[in-house]
Amino acid sequence: MAIATPSSMVILLVPGATLNRREEILVGWFSPPTRWAAVNSSGAYRGTINRVVAKRVLKDSGSTWLGGYACSLGKCTAYRVELWGVYSGLCLA
């Protein structure tokens, strides 16, 4: 699970880790080469209700937002979500 913080830092909570110990890992974004665009994607799975959500963001080399979206995929397997992410990322680009 990732939690965004105001300082653009992400706190990763690792399954199976002890609850009284947290490890912070800085996650950053590197811009693509000039005249290129980057598609960044992420998703979340809620196992108790078997639901999946996904989001994609398209940025250029100057970190300008070019487009993006978020959607609910309903009941889905991880394999299907990954394939859907590849397809939708290519459509967005």
- Exposed, middle or buried: residue 46 (CB in 10 Å: 0-12, 13-18, 19+)? exposed
pLDDT given at position 17: 59
Mean of per-residue pLDDT scores for the chain: 73
Using pLDDT thresholds of 50, 70 and 90, give the confidence band for residue 20: low
12-16, 35-39, 42-46, 54-58: segment of lowest average pLDDT? 12-16
Count of H helices and E strands in the chain?
A: 1, 6
